[in-house]
Structure 1
Amino acid sequence: MSLKRFGVSLEDDLLESLDQYVEENGFSNRSQAIRFLIEKNLAEKKWQCNHIVAGTIIIMYDQIKKEIASKITAAQQNYQDVILSSSQYYVNQNFCLHIVTVLGTAHRLTELSDRLTTIKGIKHGKLVMSRAD
């Protein structure tokens, strides 16, 4: 069911930011972007409620620093209950892309992601989750 309601107003600077967001993310219009943001917000609230979620943790690091790989392995040891798989891909001579596929409570996955992405030397890290229950 779809309802159309009018009367939403935004300050000029917020509207400008919305238009920039629409353009940067390839939405066809403002409404599509607003729907996406609302759905994203609802999903994130569900994550905070600790529902069961599935996702991936993606980290990129300099493979020359061997201690990073051992720190990743050590961090993952305490989260075997939520890790489905863990893979490494060597992007080039320097960088390694490490992908961890996970399933568990949102809180537990966020905790693991924080442990991994805050390891000194990690160039980029991100957790992506979707509700699984």
Structure 2
Amino acid sequence: MERFTISLSDELAADFDQWIEARGYSNRSEAVRDLLRKEVETQRLDQGQAIYSVATLSYVYNHHERNLAERLTNLQHAAHDLVVSSMHVHLDHDDCMESLFLRGLTQHIRDFADKLSAETGVRHGTLNLVPVKIVALQHDHSHAHFHPHS
């Protein structure tokens, strides 16, 4: 592990210590590592360098919108290679919220999220991408297939 030293003003150090305590970090080093990871991952996403990602796509929609639930389900089935799981919540008489858990090529996830969010009647769509490194492994799960591990 490589070590480095940084200097902070007393005010910034106090603010950082409050931030650390509020989030439950046990030390400054772990907090700095997490902040750096987040910035590096954000840059990788912004520059198109994150090949694979895991993600959540959450959106609200009016379930009375003509054929919308069926269209959304069809889109999810068409992207079965990306959609790992979904959760559906009834918010009120008219509105539902779904959260999809996605895994795959970052650009495919973005394309799917854009397409689904553009459906008439879908509101408040939010995609949260987390870049991951995927290692393709072949091993025995007592069934024959090949799949990636993040």
Shared fold, TM over 0.5? yes
Which protein shows a greater Rg?
Answer: 2
The number of equivalent residue pairs is 107
TM-score, normalisation: structure 2: 0.60
Query: How far 1:45 moved relative to its partner?
Result: 2.9
Aligned 8 A contact 1:62 1:121 in 2: yes
Larger proportion of helix: 1
Unaligned ranges ≥5, structure 1: 5-26
Partner SS for 1:70 = helix
Aligned 8 A contact 2:90 2:97 in 1: yes
Q: Distance in 1 between matches of 2:37 and 2:93?
A: 38
Alignment of 1:56 with 2:30, yes or no, is no
Instruction: Report the equivalent of 1:15.
Output: none
- Structure ranking higher on relative contact order (CA contacts 8 Å, 6+ apart): 1
Alignment of 1:44 with 2:70, yes or no, is no
Query: How far 1:101 moved relative to its partner?
Result: 0.3
Q: Distance in 1 between matches of 2:105 and 2:126?
A: 17
Partner SS for 1:97 = strand
2:128 maps to a residue whose letter is: V
Instruction: Report the equivalent of 2:120.
Output: 120
Q: Distance in 2 between matches of 1:45 and 1:123?
A: 24
Give the RMSD, CA atoms, in angstroms.
2.7
Unaligned ranges ≥5, structure 2: 8-18, 21-31, 134-150
